[in-house]
Amino acid sequence: MHVTWKLPDGSDISADVADGINMMEAAVAHNVPGVLGDCGGNLSCATCHVYVAADWVEKTGDIGDFEEAMLDVTEAERRRPASRLSCQIVARAALDGLVLEVPKP
Amino acid sequence: MTVWTPTDDGFADLTSHDTFAAGAPHNTFARLRREDPVHWTEWDAGQGFWSITRHQDITEMNRNPAVFSSARGIRMEDQTYEEYLARRTFQETDPPEHMMTRIKVAKAFSKPVVAEFESDIRELCDDILDQVLETREFDATKAIARQLPMRMLGRILGTPEEDLPWLVEKGDALIANTDPDFTTHVLDKMTTDEFRMMPFNSPAGADLYQYAKELMAKKSAAGDTNGVLHLILQPGKDGSVITEEEFRNFFCLLVAAGNDTTRYSIAAGIQAMCHQPELLRQMQTEDIWETAPDEIIRWATPALYFRRTATQDVEMHGKTIRAGDKVLYWFSSANRDETVFADPFHVDLSRSPNKHLAFGQGGPHICLGMWLARLEVRVLFQELAKRIKSIEATGPHKFLRSNFVGGIKELPVRVVPN
């Protein structure tokens, strides 16, 4: 699948990502600034917070309980309805063309 | 100029605390990374263990707590199941249980909440540095590095200022339980059986427990909800409440782990300034504060290793790690891995990216206090750099006698104030 990260400075980074790789891993592999993934995708840090572009919110699926809790407690100030932890979005054909926005620091 | 050169012969005994009293055995780690990245150590005093020394291996394993579990202990030493249950904190749990506890305190340690402490930290630094710079020669660990985290701890816990020296002394006795300068009950030198159910096998654990109980009673009588301790006592979403034992252990964890790690990061930064004089000039003139704290913390790597236990057989680099085997992630080694860090023994305050693992990055147990640690380190060095013209070592520094916590416990320096 193809994914595009929109950065706070207005620039974009795009990449092709193999199925099964999550969007945090993909972002770290492509040095997307602002997506750190400090806990390795274990829902302990919220440093891979992104906003999913409006067209993609439904396709990326539901927010899990721990994801919900982490977003709520650590990212409350930046949280929007389209907020996700990108480690919880896993590449698959149905997400080809996905657009993710990286929050301002 | 290099800050410090390891002196071990490349075959150091990793089980020996005395090895680390001369500094982490980086020649040994370098050899293991090169020749034997999954290294077995036999051990008279307990079951043997595997040492993982490469950055890439630790990163890959750390993200996989289902295979490499924290829930059987996190130190090299063996524990009976009974001891483990009595002493465990959320450090010794796996997801999802780990998250149930962590979520209660995650906000208090989150980046935006911690950022609000900046002016407090700056005031404390003013205080500490104004006082210490009245003299020109001092032990920088005791006079500077020990002071800031100790005084911040009081704000985090919501404890009275006058209790802090006692708390820190007890915290030191816990975490430096192998160094005779910090405890009368040296773990590997005498029997500590009497205290085997206490955090860190230490009588200080009993003292801290008593203190925590009395503190919470006083606070609840006064309706005082300052600090993080009341957060951990709140029921979780599922209604679960922390047990007395868990509370005691969490308190000890905050006092011990939340304190000396930042201290030794600051000490290592000051040590680096003594041996790389350009660091002070960079701090004074260059825009390095986004990257400098992480480089200082990489250089320090106070948590030398954490242990996991394999839950299944795993083949790696031609070795078979068996289910039940202890596996040590040597963060200390990973942070000097020459395949990841150019010139790893050089402190480069503008190093970027800096994928160091000093906070256990890449796994669920990522340091809860990492934003606070970075902030304390940044503000301390900003304030120190404003106040001095030069700093130099006046004698050799001394390392803690511990293979678990890497730290400079004595750091004699001379400064020329502005």
| pLDDT tens profile B247-283 | 888 888 888 877 889 999 999 999 999 999 999 999 9
Q: What is the pLDDT of residue B2?
A: 60
Q: Does A73 touch chain B (CB under 8 A)?
A: yes
Of B56, B59, B90, B103, which to mutate for an interface test with A (greatest number of A Cβ within 10 Å)? B103
Domain count, chain B: 1
Kindly state the average pLDDT of the residues B82-108. Answer: 85
* More confident of the two residues B41 and A105: B41
Q: Please give the average per-residue pLDDT across A12-30, as a whole number.
A: 96
Comparison of pLDDT for B249 and B392, the residue scoring more: B392
Residue B4 in domain: no
Check CB contact under 8 Å for B102 and A73.
no
Q: Which of A86-90, B74-78, B263-267, B407-411 has the lowest mean pLDDT?
A: B74-78
Q: How far is CA B295 from CA A105, B82, B345, B374, in A?
A: 20, 40, 11, 10
Confidence of residue B199 (pLDDT cuts 50, 70, 90): low
Q: Which of A42, A66, A70 is closest, CB to CB, to B63?
A: A42
Residue B404: CATH number of its domain: 1.10.630.10
Report if residue B11 sits inside a domain: no
B42-to-B48, B50, B51, B191, B367 alpha-carbon distances in Å: 4, 9, 11, 22, 30
Least confident window among B61-65, B203-207, B336-340, B354-358: B203-207
A105 touches chain B (CB under 8 A): no
Give the one of B102, B353, B362 whose C-beta lies nearest to A40's C-beta. Answer: B362
Domain extent for A66: 2-101
Mean pLDDT, chain B, rounded, equals 91
Residue B28 CA from chain centroid, whole number: 21
- CB-count burial class (<10 Å; 0-12, 13-18, 19+) for B315: exposed
The confidence score (pLDDT) of residue B225 equals 80
| CA distance, residue B109 to nearest chain A CA (Å) | 8
**In terms of residue numbers, what domain contains B80?**
28-417
- Residue of B110, B237, B370 lying closest to A74 (CB–CB): B110
CB contact under 8 A, A40 and B99: no
- Is there a domain that residue B16 lies in? no
| Within a domain: B142 | yes
Average pLDDT over residues B334-338: 98
pLDDT band at residue B193 using 50, 70 and 90 as cut-offs: low
Contact between residue B272 and residue B299 where contact means Cβ atoms under 8 Å apart = yes
CA distance B84 to B102: 19
User: ipTM beyond 0.85?
Assistant: yes
Residue B365 lies in a domain: yes
Q: pLDDT (tens digit, 9 = 90+) per residue, B207-230? A: 888 888 888 888 888 888 877 887
What is the total count of domains within chain A? 1
Q: Which of A57-66, B59-68, B147-156, B181-190 has the lowest mean pLDDT?
A: B181-190
Which of A68-77, B30-39, B348-357 is predicted least confidently?
A68-77
Q: Hey, CA dihedral for A26, A29, A32, A38, is it positive or negative?
A: positive
Asked if A31's CB is within 8 angstroms of B364's CB, the reply is no
Q: Find chain A residues with C-beta within 8 A of B65's C-beta.
A: 42
The CATH code of the domain that includes A84 is: 3.10.20.30
Cβ neighbours of A27 in B, within 8 Å: none
Residue of B nearest to A25 (CA): B362
